[in-house]
Amino acid sequence: MSDETTGDAGDLFVVGTDTGVGKTVVTAGLTGWLRERGRDAIAVKPCQTGYPPDDDAAFVAEACGSEAAATCLRRLEPPLAPAVAADRTDADLAYGEIREGVEAAVSAHGTAVVEGIGGLRVPLADGREVLDLVADIGLPAVVVARSGLGTLNHTGMTVDALRGRGVPVRGIVLNQYEGATTAERTNPEVLEDMTDCPVWPLPPLSLSDPSAAVTGVREHLPATVFDGL
């Protein structure tokens, strides 16, 4: 896919600086916002580990109020990197099949939001990492990061890794932003200077109702995140 201009103007790949930084919340918010705008949008999870109880696609579907809003291509039980989980369970997990599945899901819908697995260097399958999938699919990336101390290094390295593979970075979401510390208050401006990317602070959301993810993302991210829509 990356060899040509691909995807719809609103297609995005949501990546994280680490696991647990809020990729699923942002993916749900973006997908639901697109669907509110009348797009045939779907969230695509290439591989879910730790299943159950972890089920990112189910969270997105509930947030959007439709089972058709999300799909997960593979599920593995151990809460480990996909390649490690597959090895420990003797599961057949092929990188080519994952890539083809993502490409098919993106092509079959008006707009797709693909959610990564952990951070970029997470082993995926066949010696490939999440970064390889992001680069091969060829969609612009939104980086989700923590807001507090330590995020400058992790976020800067993530942006550098994406750009080093030719992936355009649409912007950075600083999740769970409260501005309670000096580090939090200064990180947005410093990251903008470091990366030349727009930075969007996203405050903590009450996710007892998953639809709050859609409202929160719509209220705190600019519509320019969807280039061309």
User: Annotated binding residue at 188?
Assistant: no
Catalytic hit among 35, 45, 146, 170: 45
User: Annotated binding residue at 155?
Assistant: no
Residue with tokens 């470091």: 194
Closest CA to 27 of 81, 63, 51, 54: 63
Q: Provide the residue type at 129 as one letter.
A: E
User: Annotated binding residue at 7?
Assistant: no
User: Annotated binding residue at 175?
Assistant: yes
User: Annotated binding residue at 118?
Assistant: yes
- Is 133 in the active site? no
User: Annotated binding residue at 24?
Assistant: yes
Are 125 and 93 within 8 A, CB to CB? yes
Residue with tokens 């990336």: 141
CB atoms within 10 A of CB 113: 31
User: Annotated binding residue at 137?
Assistant: no
Distances (CA, A) of 78 to 11, 103, 191, 223: 30, 26, 34, 37
User: Annotated binding residue at 22?
Assistant: yes
User: Annotated binding residue at 26?
Assistant: no
Q: Which residues, in sequence order, are CB contacts of 182 under 8 Å at separation 6+?
A: none
| Residues flagged as binding site for ATP | 20-25, 56, 115-118, 175-176, 203-205
Catalytic residue ranges: 45
| Residues flagged as binding site | 20-25, 49, 56, 115-118, 175-176, 203-205
| Residues flagged as binding site for Mg(2+) | 24, 56, 115
